[in-house]
Protein backbone atom coordinates (compact mmCIF):
# COMPACT_ATOMS: atom_id res chain seq x y z
CA UNK A 1 0.00 0.00 0.00
CA UNK A 2 2.69 2.47 0.92
CA UNK A 3 5.28 3.91 -1.41
CA UNK A 4 8.91 3.35 -0.71
CA UNK A 5 12.08 5.21 -1.61
CA UNK A 6 14.28 3.55 -4.23
CA UNK A 7 17.95 4.47 -4.17
CA UNK A 8 19.57 5.47 -7.41
CA UNK A 9 23.00 4.25 -8.37
CA UNK A 10 25.72 6.32 -6.87
CA UNK A 11 23.83 7.45 -3.77
CA UNK A 12 25.66 7.07 -0.51
CA UNK A 13 24.44 4.69 2.14
CA UNK A 14 25.01 6.87 5.20
CA UNK A 15 22.33 7.86 7.70
CA UNK A 16 22.48 11.49 6.67
CA UNK A 17 21.89 10.73 3.03
CA UNK A 18 18.88 8.54 3.88
CA UNK A 19 17.43 11.16 6.18
CA UNK A 20 17.86 13.90 3.60
CA UNK A 21 16.27 11.83 0.81
CA UNK A 22 13.32 10.84 2.97
CA UNK A 23 12.60 14.47 3.81
CA UNK A 24 12.78 15.58 0.22
CA UNK A 25 10.42 12.86 -1.05
CA UNK A 26 6.67 13.55 -0.82
CA UNK A 27 4.73 11.22 1.43
CA UNK A 28 2.59 8.92 -0.71
CA UNK A 29 0.60 7.26 2.08
CA UNK A 30 -2.94 8.30 2.96
CA UNK A 31 -3.68 8.90 6.62
CA UNK A 32 -7.20 7.48 7.14
CA UNK A 33 -7.40 8.12 10.88
CA UNK A 34 -9.13 11.54 10.60
CA UNK A 35 -11.57 10.10 8.06
CA UNK A 36 -12.48 7.24 10.41
CA UNK A 37 -12.88 9.66 13.32
CA UNK A 38 -15.27 11.86 11.33
CA UNK A 39 -17.31 8.85 10.18
CA UNK A 40 -17.65 7.55 13.75
CA UNK A 41 -18.84 10.95 14.97
CA UNK A 42 -21.41 11.12 12.15
CA UNK A 43 -22.57 7.59 12.94
CA UNK A 44 -23.15 8.51 16.57
CA UNK A 45 -25.01 11.69 15.59
CA UNK A 46 -27.35 9.78 13.25
CA UNK A 47 -27.92 7.02 15.80
CA UNK A 48 -29.00 9.60 18.38
CA UNK A 49 -31.07 11.71 15.94
CA UNK A 50 -32.94 8.88 14.14
CA UNK A 51 -35.36 8.01 16.98
CA UNK A 52 -36.28 11.68 17.31
CA UNK A 53 -37.57 11.81 13.70
CA UNK A 54 -40.63 9.62 14.34
CA UNK A 55 -44.15 10.94 14.94
CA UNK A 56 -44.19 12.28 18.48
CA UNK A 57 -47.78 12.08 19.72
CA UNK A 58 -47.88 10.66 23.27
CA UNK A 59 -49.93 7.44 23.14
CA UNK A 60 -49.84 4.44 25.49
CA UNK A 61 -49.67 1.58 22.95
CA UNK A 62 -50.77 -1.94 23.88
CA UNK A 63 -48.02 -4.58 23.99
CA UNK A 64 -48.20 -7.69 21.80
CA UNK A 65 -45.91 -10.50 20.70
CA UNK A 66 -46.15 -9.47 17.00
CA UNK A 67 -43.00 -8.79 14.98
CA UNK A 68 -42.28 -5.39 13.43
CA UNK A 69 -43.37 -4.78 9.82
CA UNK A 70 -40.76 -4.26 7.08
CA UNK A 71 -40.03 -0.67 6.12
CA UNK A 72 -41.10 1.05 2.88
CA UNK A 73 -39.57 3.60 0.52
CA UNK A 74 -42.34 6.16 1.13
CA UNK A 75 -42.79 7.82 4.52
CA UNK A 76 -45.48 5.85 6.33
CA UNK A 77 -48.84 7.50 6.91
CA UNK A 78 -49.78 7.38 10.58
CA UNK A 79 -53.22 7.92 12.08
CA UNK A 80 -53.34 8.34 15.86
CA UNK A 81 -56.34 7.87 18.13
CA UNK A 82 -55.50 9.39 21.51
CA UNK A 83 -56.95 8.35 24.87
CA UNK A 84 -59.43 11.26 24.82
CA UNK A 85 -60.70 10.24 21.34
CA UNK A 86 -58.92 12.91 19.28
CA UNK A 87 -57.83 11.90 15.76
CA UNK A 88 -54.51 12.94 14.25
CA UNK A 89 -53.07 12.34 10.79
CA UNK A 90 -49.30 12.38 11.26
CA UNK A 91 -49.12 15.24 13.81
CA UNK A 92 -52.12 17.30 12.60
CA UNK A 93 -55.34 17.03 14.59
CA UNK A 94 -58.40 16.37 12.42
CA UNK A 95 -62.10 16.66 13.29
CA UNK A 96 -64.16 13.48 12.90
CA UNK A 97 -66.34 15.09 10.22
CA UNK A 98 -63.28 15.91 8.06
CA UNK A 99 -61.42 12.63 8.67
CA UNK A 100 -62.59 10.61 5.63
CA UNK A 101 -62.35 13.59 3.24
CA UNK A 102 -58.77 14.30 4.41
CA UNK A 103 -57.78 10.66 4.02
CA UNK A 104 -59.26 10.51 0.50
CA UNK A 105 -57.20 13.55 -0.46
CA UNK A 106 -54.05 11.97 0.94
CA UNK A 107 -54.82 8.63 -0.78
CA UNK A 108 -54.83 10.36 -4.16
CA UNK A 109 -51.31 11.70 -3.60
CA UNK A 110 -49.71 8.49 -2.29
CA UNK A 111 -48.44 5.43 -4.13
CA UNK A 112 -49.03 3.06 -1.22
CA UNK A 113 -52.36 2.24 0.42
CA UNK A 114 -50.62 1.33 3.69
CA UNK A 115 -51.53 3.28 6.81
CA UNK A 116 -50.52 2.70 10.41
CA UNK A 117 -53.07 3.14 13.19
CA UNK A 118 -51.70 4.10 16.61
CA UNK A 119 -54.59 3.73 19.05
CA UNK A 120 -54.18 4.36 22.76
CA UNK A 121 -54.90 1.25 24.82
CA UNK A 122 -57.54 3.15 26.82
CA UNK A 123 -59.85 3.27 23.76
CA UNK A 124 -62.68 0.77 23.41
CA UNK A 125 -62.32 -1.72 20.56
CA UNK A 126 -65.50 -0.49 18.85
CA UNK A 127 -64.00 3.01 18.54
CA UNK A 128 -60.81 1.57 17.02
CA UNK A 129 -62.85 -0.59 14.61
CA UNK A 130 -64.90 2.47 13.64
CA UNK A 131 -61.72 4.37 12.72
CA UNK A 132 -60.42 1.36 10.76
CA UNK A 133 -63.68 1.25 8.80
CA UNK A 134 -63.39 4.95 8.02
CA UNK A 135 -59.82 4.45 6.78
CA UNK A 136 -60.99 1.57 4.57
CA UNK A 137 -63.80 3.74 3.17
CA UNK A 138 -61.23 6.44 2.35
CA UNK A 139 -59.20 4.02 0.20
CA UNK A 140 -56.63 2.64 2.62
CA UNK A 141 -57.05 -1.14 2.55
CA UNK A 142 -53.68 -2.02 4.06
CA UNK A 143 -54.02 -1.02 7.73
CA UNK A 144 -51.36 -1.89 10.27
CA UNK A 145 -51.98 -1.62 14.01
CA UNK A 146 -48.97 -0.21 15.87
CA UNK A 147 -48.15 -1.85 19.20
CA UNK A 148 -45.18 -2.01 21.53
CA UNK A 149 -43.18 -5.24 21.42
CA UNK A 150 -42.55 -7.45 24.42
CA UNK A 151 -46.14 -8.02 25.54
CA UNK A 152 -47.75 -11.25 26.65
CA UNK A 153 -48.46 -14.09 24.21
CA UNK A 154 -51.51 -16.36 24.09
CA UNK A 155 -49.61 -19.25 25.67
CA UNK A 156 -49.21 -17.20 28.87
CA UNK A 157 -45.49 -16.42 28.53
CA UNK A 158 -44.12 -12.90 28.31
CA UNK A 159 -42.71 -12.10 24.84
**Predicted pLDDT of residue 23:** 61
Listed in sequence order, the residues at least 6 apart from 55 whose beta carbon sits closer than 8 Å to its beta carbon are 78, 80, 90, 91, 118
**Predicted pLDDT of residue 70:** 63
Handedness of CA 45, 48, 51, 55 (dihedral sign): negative
**Predicted pLDDT of residue 43:** 94
Q: Is residue 140 a contact partner of residue 103, using CB atoms and an 8 Å limit?
A: yes
Domains and CATH numbers, the chain: 77-147 (3.30.420.270)
Could you report the per-residue pLDDT of 90-121, keeping only the tens digit for each? 888 888 888 888 888 888 888 777 888 888 88
**Predicted pLDDT of residue 143:** 87
DSSP 80-118: EE-TTS-EEETTEEE-HHHHHHHHHHHHHH-S--EEEEE
Q: Is residue 53 a contact partner of residue 91, using CB atoms and an 8 Å limit?
A: no
**Predicted pLDDT of residue 15:** 58
**Predicted pLDDT of residue 21:** 57
**Predicted pLDDT of residue 22:** 55
Low-confidence stretches of the chain (pLDDT beneath 70): 1-24, 54-57, 68-74, 156-159
pTM for this one?
Answer: 0.52
Amino acid sequence: MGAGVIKKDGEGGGKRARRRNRRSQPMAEINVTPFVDVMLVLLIIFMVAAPLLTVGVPVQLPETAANALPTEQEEPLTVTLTADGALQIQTTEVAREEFIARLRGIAGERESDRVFLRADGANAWNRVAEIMGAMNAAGFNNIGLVTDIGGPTLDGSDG
